A and B are shown apart, each in its own frame.
Chain A
Amino acid sequence: MGNSIRGILVMVKEYFAMSWSNIRGNKVRSFLTVLGILIGVTAVIALITTVSGFSGTLSSSFRSMGAGSLMLSVTGNDLKSGLSREDLTVLTELEEVDGVSPSVSLRGRVARGGAYQSNVTVSGRNAYYFLKNEGMVSRGRTIHPSDEENMTFVCLISQELVTTFFYGEDPLGRNLYIDGVPFLVVGILSGDGGTSVTAMMSSGSASIVIPYTTALKMNNTGDVTSLVVYAADGLESGDVTTVLEETLDAMFSYEEDCFTVTAMTSIEDTMNNMLSMVSTLLAGIASIALVVGGIGIMNMMLTTVTERTMEIGLKKALGAIPWQIQMQFLIESFLLSMIGGVMGVALGLFLSLILCQAIGSTFVISVEAILLGVSFSAVVGILFGWAPARKASRLNPIDALRSM
């Protein structure tokens, strides 16, 4: 009779229809019941999607510029405080290395005419730096190899300094004084100073860029202590670490703690780990809302069972077996929870779209997150609907009918 798979499917379909009409018949109450699940799923989805969008953006910017690079920072020892230009040449000529980009940082007093500004960040860079970080220059030219070679007094300046010192004038071809030394302005730095992570991490927002050799001279050191090493084509930064360390060990006479090499890939790994830890933690907290939502559904279902005692008795009198009653109520709580879940997924994605736009990362719909949200609410619906549904199926039809 009703035992074939087909029969069961037909019945389950019928229960869905009944549950749906019950849920619709109590719109406000159903919505309030579902609110807990909705909020929980919204939070989980928004968090996961936003964080994964953010880490995706981070990763891709690492990959675009950073994956093949290593940060080298030198503390030196008594004999040797940093890397000389010859040392840099040695590093550049390593087979595994594509090039190096030293960074020499100074602070100086910048002046022109009557105007001056103290404590301006001046970065010493080489030509290779501009090769690796495209889009740094909005107008004019970059530092050339000949500038490095000859320690020329040329500079590129930020838009901010253009407004400060060259109001209404074209700065290109004019002089600017850094600590009293005249520098020829040859280029204007673009506003965002490059988008790559290495640019972000190594320069901050430089106001003035000059040839690093010139900067070393002004610094009175002649030694480079901070640089970025780029791996040769096809190599990841991790592959270069060993050979780089060996070379540097030789330069520093095998004394310990003279330098640190940090591969970008390992920084990226660390960051991704941190991000995924944070997102797991937040999602964990958000899932408490799901449990609370589940309890809300359970409460509502228990109330429903009590209210519909007569209906349950009647259905039993008409031949429903306990299992069929249990199924019907289970499907109702499942459906309630799923409605909350689906609404939560939609709202969560919407929220995360806004968030991603606000923090400027790409918005990627994560299928895992959606599956997680939906399946979590399905589980919550069945889990918390179980006890009420069982209670309904246990109702004695005689008592139930007498209550009419």
Chain B
Amino acid sequence: MTEPVFFHMAGIHKVYPMGDEQVHVLKDVNLDLEKGDYLSVLGPSGSGKTTLMNIIGCLDTASAGEYVLEGYDIGEMDEVELARIRSREIGFIFQNSQLLPRLNALKNVELPLIYAGVSPRERRQRAREMLEKVGLSRRMEHYPNQLSGGQQQRVAIARAMVGNPAILLADEPTGALDQKTGRQVMDLFQALNREGRTIIMITHDMNIAACARRTVHIVDGVLTERAGEAHG
């Protein structure tokens, strides 16, 4: 019996129609990952990083190509199935932590579990564990505006992990943080990766990208293993 394919992208294209023309944002992206990988996607602004992340995160589907995640053929799925996959397999971390202002840290972390239909008791339990893990055991009742930027981002990380997803997907996770707190978030990522978490981190910052175990470059929608190769 073979294990289902964990992560496989082949020949992914993304084309946006723009009036009469078409914007070709992703061009023949090929990428394979194994469980426990820690990958950074490095590229300048406008190179297609967020577009790629949306496809990896099953928020969007590719115009062409094959994408398999945990054995599921993502290209074949409808809106509801995609939502289910997001709920189970993906943990999003955005640039601005994107917490809901009216919910406290604990409730924010519980949110994905509400949509997954987890019982209130289990939800609370798991959210607590996650907040403890990211070092916020004493901030659980705090509201987002009572937390620092770094703390907010850690709540967002706890929220991303609470559903025990296959992949942690972070788009510029340190973009809104100063260097020191950015460093702390990176340390947290490394610790999580050591525990076996698969992480994909998107960034335009070389120093941040260097924290990952593997880095791929994206320039003008073309993905390469080494910098400059796309131009070679």
Contact A319 B87 (CB under 8 A): yes
Contact A398 B59 (CB under 8 A): yes
Contact with A along B66-97 (1 / 0, CB 8 A): 00000000000001100110111000101010
Contact A317 B92 (CB under 8 A): yes
Contact with B along A366-400 (1 / 0, CB 8 A): 00000000000000000000000000000001100
Q: How many A-B contacts if CB must be within 8 Å?
A: 73
Q: Count of chain A residues with Cβ under 8 Å from any Cβ of B? A: 30
Beyond the given pairs A319-B116, A324-B115, A404-B98, 11 more chain A to chain B contacts, judged by CB atoms under 8 angstroms and listed by A's residue number, are A4-B117, A10-B119, A25-B102, A314-B100, A318-B112, A320-B115, A321-B115, A398-B59, A401-B59, A401-B94, A404-B96
Q: How far is the CB of B38 from chain A (nearest CB, A)?
A: 21
Contact A318 B117 (CB under 8 A): no
Q: Enumerate chain A residues within 8 angstroms of B120, measured Cβ to Cβ.
A: 10
Q: How far is the CB of B109 from chain A (nearest CB, A)?
A: 11
Q: Enumerate chain A residues within 8 angstroms of B60, measured Cβ to Cβ.
A: 398
Interface check A364, CB cutoff 8 A: no
Residues of B in contact with A (beta carbons under 8 Å apart): 50, 54, 57, 59-60, 79-80, 83-84, 86-88, 92, 94, 96, 98, 100, 102-103, 111-112, 114-117, 119-120, 159, 163
**Distance, CA A303 to CA B119, complexed state (A):** 32
Q: Enumerate chain B residues within 8 angstroms of A316, measured Cβ to Cβ.
A: 59, 83, 86
Q: How far is the CB of A320 from chain B (nearest CB, A)?
A: 4
Q: Enumerate chain A residues within 8 angstroms of B86, measured Cβ to Cβ.
A: 316-319
Interface check A291, CB cutoff 8 A: no
Contact B111 A7 (CB under 8 A): no
Residues of A in contact with B (beta carbons under 8 Å apart): 1-4, 7, 10-11, 14, 18, 21-22, 25, 310-311, 314-324, 397-398, 401-402, 404
Contact A397 B59 (CB under 8 A): yes
Contact A322 B102 (CB under 8 A): no
Q: Enumerate chain B residues within 8 angstroms of A25, measured Cβ to Cβ.
A: 102
Q: Enumerate chain B residues within 8 angstroms of A321, measured Cβ to Cβ.
A: 79-80, 83-84, 115
**Distance, CA A319 to CA B112, complexed state (A):** 6
Candidate in A2, A317, A397, A404 with the most chain B CB atoms within 10 angstroms: A317
**Distance, CA A402 to CA B16, complexed state (A):** 15
